[in-house]
Amino acid sequence: MSDRRQLALNLFIYPGGHHEAAWRYKGSAADRVLDISYYQELAKRAEAHKFDAIFFADGPALADNVRYAQRFRLEPITWLSAIAAVTSRIGLIATASTTYMEPYNLARLFASLDHISGGRAGWNIVTTSAPQAAQNFGLPEHPPHGERYERAREFIDVVTRLWDSWEDEALVNDPASGIFADTGKVHTIDHIGKHFRVRGPLNISRPPQGRPVYVQAGSSDDGRAFAARFAEAIFTAHQTLASAQEFYTAIKRQARVFDRSPDQIKVLPGISPFIGSTQAEADRLQDEFNALIQPEYSLTQLRQMIGLDLSGFDLDGPFPRHLIDTQSAQGVASRFKLVIDIVDRERPTIRQLVQRLAGARGHWVIAGPPEKIADNIQAWFEGGAADGFNVMPPWLPGGFDLFVEQVVPILRKRRLFRDDYTGTTLRDHYGLTRPESIFADTIQAIA
């Protein structure tokens, strides 16, 4: 592998693909949404093409409007454990909520996945934006944005200490001496905070990576501060090079405030490419998908993003910008800001806006021949906007096949992407250091 800086590429797997109408497209695998062999095939294909990781999103509630779209999925840790069994190198990133999980259970789940996979686990840290989740967990209402991030910060502190509670040399496992564990290197954490009381230690030894890779996907002010402090990889949504550059520069600057090396944070925007042999062919492909959009679903998605119900409006009329309340609580959300930026920049009709968002829920959708896709990836990568990308195929498996068969070879020819893996863990792939236990060289230990 070249010593040059290299792209990181993840396959972001949405069951049928990332366009909201993908499950209706003739080339999708809509009938295999609960078939684990389908996902294993996708993961093995991504590994064969030397992708850094696969990523699986999740939420602890049934999404609205399941009538019109594939809006449920398998539980991600279970899912990735099955993927780990048929792969050996590709990273495995799962989403889990700090609002609706407990630190001890989550720490144990991800430590187990990291051990099972030989050090390939990553945790996409979310606070959960779906308000309907609250009543699935005995809460009368969804906690406010700021409170969720306050809990998340304490949550990270607890799970970090739990993963570190076994030092690397604590597991002895020596039948001859009769010593299984060096208890002088196994530590209680004795955490007492506003949200959690956790004694520890964890009931499994330290993960191969020390800790799973910390991934974060929020771009609000709270989300950016959280990412700059904790995240090692950031999944982010941008529509323009300028927006991506602003985010990239700001997050790397904020990292220095927390005495972190900017090189230890990988910024990975989403890209959803419609690929054709010509621009006209790629445009026609995208039009095919947009023709399958169901307005009832699209308008529900839009209402969740901006808090405005447009179901009674003319789809081909102008977007009613004057009705948007930018001072509302929703106005701090990253996806709200992204949508309003599109409206202010492009002045779309309502139909044009929902088509823009249908491709990948606000992530960058690009249509064109393979060279155009590669040119844009290179421009963002070399222009201070990205360290790599979350590849979000409009449909699966065909949209991913086109990308790896037609775009990846161009990136390799330009020496932008690896020819082979040089390490075995997700940290190796991303070029991240393995953290030392915070309990190393301390004397506190269990008896």
Annotated binding-site residue? 145? yes
* The 3-state secondary structure of 384-422, one letter per residue: CCCCEEEECCCCCEHHHHHHHHHHHHHHHHCCCCCCCCC
At 121, is the secondary structure helix, strand, or coil?
A: strand
Annotated binding-site residue? 243? no
Q: Residue 257's pLDDT is what?
A: 95
Distance CA 127, CA 151 (A): 9
Mean pLDDT taken over the chain: 93
- Phi and psi, residue 304, nearest 5°: -65, -30
Q: Which residue is it, tokens 């529509």?
A: 239
pLDDT digits (tens, 9 = 90+) for 198-222: 999 999 999 999 999 999 987 678 8
pLDDT digits (tens, 9 = 90+) for 28-49: 998 999 999 999 999 999 999 9
Q: Is 268 exposed, middle or buried (0-12, 13-18, 19+ CB in 10 A)?
A: buried
Distance CA 38, CA 29 (A): 8
Annotated binding-site residue? 272? no
Distance CA 239, CA 113 (A): 34
Annotated binding-site residue? 326? no
Annotated binding-site residue? 149? yes
All domains of the chain in start order, with CATH: 8-281+362-430 (3.20.20.30)
Annotated binding-site residue? 195? no
* pLDDT for 1 beyond 50: no
Residues 390-407 have a mean pLDDT of 97
CB 165 within 8 A of CB 189: yes
